[in-house]
């Protein structure tokens, strides 16, 4: 059953093909692992759209493009993230069962790192939605099991770096599920380790880890260590989510970097240009195929009275204005439509068709604060990227390979200094 977007399910114990999962009731109660096609079909979300809405009064129609906030198109990154999350949750329950038999093995950990605006948290939310929030076990048939199982728990990193706030954050996350939906009251002053164990938490996700960097060099270690110790003690896998600058947290410590390299988490990057060598232009570039696919999937959702064809010039205009950052791509599509509606109503335009120049004008109007960052990513100038550590993807292997493909000379690095 689902209550207000909370998925509560009575345990349905499913036979497991892998021998290491067989007999583990926590794993048997989870949904079966989805294949790629099934995951995409399950995850995709289309906005509410009717073509007839294009002819509603402007006062109503100008609100319609905000339906795109519900749009979700799974990409290869989401598929890879799903594979990793599924592995971490199941492996955590395996290791917990081993620990009960005196096998002192630590849980796995991972870091989901990417440029701001590429959809890390949003994508992770959709992946986690593949699992129930609460599973109710059959304790009459299996009296050794706890009554409730929480496959995942999500908290936000404490901005002040106070380790004492971690139990408070865990309490709030548990209380939001248990108190509001099962009428189970937990005491704020109780040991949160007890409750996490009691409710068989399968994974702890910590979002916005970059908040800790505001504390200064190495001042984030107490929080990271406290989270790692908590999950080590309970044998609960841990996932950190943050912008590109959190790499310094893990790269600065061998112990921490080893912990987050046990899964193949992809970096979440903008849809950068790709090299397209030709004899006439050996250093030519073209738009990334994933950028084009993203635009093609989004483009039908037009609420303007005049529909615009997705041309090469329109694609170029969107890339120039957004640097291939998905969040800005969606927002620009929304804002351009709304601006067109208003301009026509005020008789500033005779139609509601998008043009490259109009798209540029809307971006400059609404993205004026973010435009320096967008320009830095689009142009990849070292001096600009150095100003924005949350956007800096310098030194990543795939970026270094791209620079090599584009025949960038070593003394003129395209992405700034190497880490």
Rounded to 5°, angle at Cα 244 from 274 and 413: 50
- Provide the 10 A C-beta neighbour count for residue 313: 12
* Contacts with 44 (C-beta within 8 Å, 6 or more apart), sequence order: 72, 73, 74
Q: How far is Cα 257 from Cα 383, in angstroms, rounded to an integer?
A: 28
Kindly state the tokens that stand for 22: 């067989």
- What does the H/E/C string look like for 318-333? HHHHHCCCHHHHHHHH
Alpha helices in 183-269 (DSSP H): 192-198, 221-234, 247-251, 254-259
Q: What share of the chain is helix, strand, coil (3-state, %, to 5)?
A: 45, 10, 45
**End-to-end Cα spacing for the chain:** 49
CATH of domain 2-32+75-259: 3.40.50
CA 140 → CA 9, 28, 31, distances in Å?
Answer: 16, 17, 21
Enter the DSSP assignment of 75.
-
R_g over Cα of the chain: 24
What region, left, alpha or beta, does residue 119 occupy, with left being phi > 0 and alpha being psi -120 to 50 degrees?
A: left
- Provide the 10 A C-beta neighbour count for residue 4: 6
Kindly state the tokens that stand for 67: 């339906």
Kindly state the tokens that stand for 204: 């702890």
Quote the pTM value: 0.86
The predicted pLDDT at position 221 comes to: 82
Q: How far is Cα 129 from Cα 7, in angstroms, rounded to an integer?
A: 8
Longest Cα separation, the chain: 76
What region, left, alpha or beta, does residue 208 occupy, with left being phi > 0 and alpha being psi -120 to 50 degrees?
A: left
Residue with tokens 């025949």: 407
Q: How far is Cα 262 from Cα 84, in angstroms, rounded to an integer?
A: 10
From the list 264, 237, 260, 240, the residue with the least C-alpha distance to 96 is 237
The domain segmentation of the chain, as residue ranges, is 2-32+75-259, 270-379
The predicted pLDDT at position 402 comes to: 41
Local confidence pLDDT in tens for the 419 residues of the chain: 444 478 999 999 999 999 999 999 999 999 999 999 999 999 999 999 999 999 999 999 999 999 999 999 999 899 999 999 999 999 999 988 876 655 555 567 888 998 888 989 899 999 999 999 999 999 999 999 999 999 999 999 998 888 889 999 999 999 988 887 888 888 888 888 899 999 999 999 999 998 888 766 567 888 888 888 888 888 899 999 998 888 877 765 545 555 555 556 778 989 988 866 555 555 567 898 999 999 999 999 999 999 999 999 999 999 999 999 999 999 999 999 999 999 999 999 999 999 999 999 999 999 999 898 888 888 877 666 667 666 655 554 444 444 444 333 322 222 222 22
């Amino acid at each position: 059953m689902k209550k207000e977007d909370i998925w509560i399910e009575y345990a349905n114990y499913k036979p497991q093909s892998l021998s290491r999962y067989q007999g583990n009731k926590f794993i048997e109660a989870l949904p079966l692992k989805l294949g790629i096609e099934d995951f995409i079909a399950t995850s995709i979300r289309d906005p509410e759209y009717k073509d007839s809405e294009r002819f509603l009064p402007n006062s109503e129609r100008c609100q319609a493009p905000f339906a795109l906030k519900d749009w979700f198109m799974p990409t290869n990154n989401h598929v890879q993230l799903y594979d990793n999350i599924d592995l971490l949750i199941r492996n955590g329950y395996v290791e917990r069962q081993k620990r009960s038999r005196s096998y002192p093995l630590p849980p796995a950990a991972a870091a989901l790192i990417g440029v701001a605006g590429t959809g890390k948290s949003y994508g992770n939310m959709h992946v986690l939605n593949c699992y129930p929030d609460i599973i109710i076990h059959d304790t009459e048939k299996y009296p050794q099991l706890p009554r409730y199982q929480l496959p995942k728990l999500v908290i936000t990193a404490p901005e002040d770096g106070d380790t004492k706030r971690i139990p408070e954050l865990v309490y709030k996350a548990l209380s939001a599920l248990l108190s509001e939906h099962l009428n189970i009251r937990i005491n704020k002053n109780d040991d949160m380790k007890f409750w996490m164990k009691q409710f068989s938490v399968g994974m702890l996700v910590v979002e916005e880890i970059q908040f800790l960097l505001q504390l200064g060099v190495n001042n984030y270690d107490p929080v990271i260590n406290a989270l790692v110790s908590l999950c080590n003690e309970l044998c609960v896998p841990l996932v950190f989510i943050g912008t590109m600058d959190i790499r310094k947290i893990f790269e600065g410590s061998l112990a921490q970097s080893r912990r987050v390299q046990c899964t193949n988490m992809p970096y979440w990057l903008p849809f950068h240009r790709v090299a397209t060598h030709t004899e006439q232009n050996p250093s030519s570039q073209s738009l990334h195929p994933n950028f084009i696919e993203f635009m093609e999937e989004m483009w039908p959702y037009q609420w303007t009275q005049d529909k615009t064809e997705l041309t090469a010039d329109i694609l170029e205009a969107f890339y120039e204005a957004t640097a291939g950052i998905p969040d800005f791509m969606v927002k620009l599509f929304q804002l351009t439509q709304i601006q067109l509606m208003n301009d026509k109503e005020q008789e500033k335009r005779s139609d509601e068709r998008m043009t490259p120049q109009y798209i540029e004008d809307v971006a400059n109007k609404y993205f004026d604060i973010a435009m320096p960052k967008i320009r830095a990513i689009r142009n990849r100038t070292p001096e600009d990227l150095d100003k924005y550590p949350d956007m800096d993807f310098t030194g990543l292997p795939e970026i270094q390979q791209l620079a090599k493909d584009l025949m960038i000379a070593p003394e003129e690095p395209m992405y700034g200094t190497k880490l």
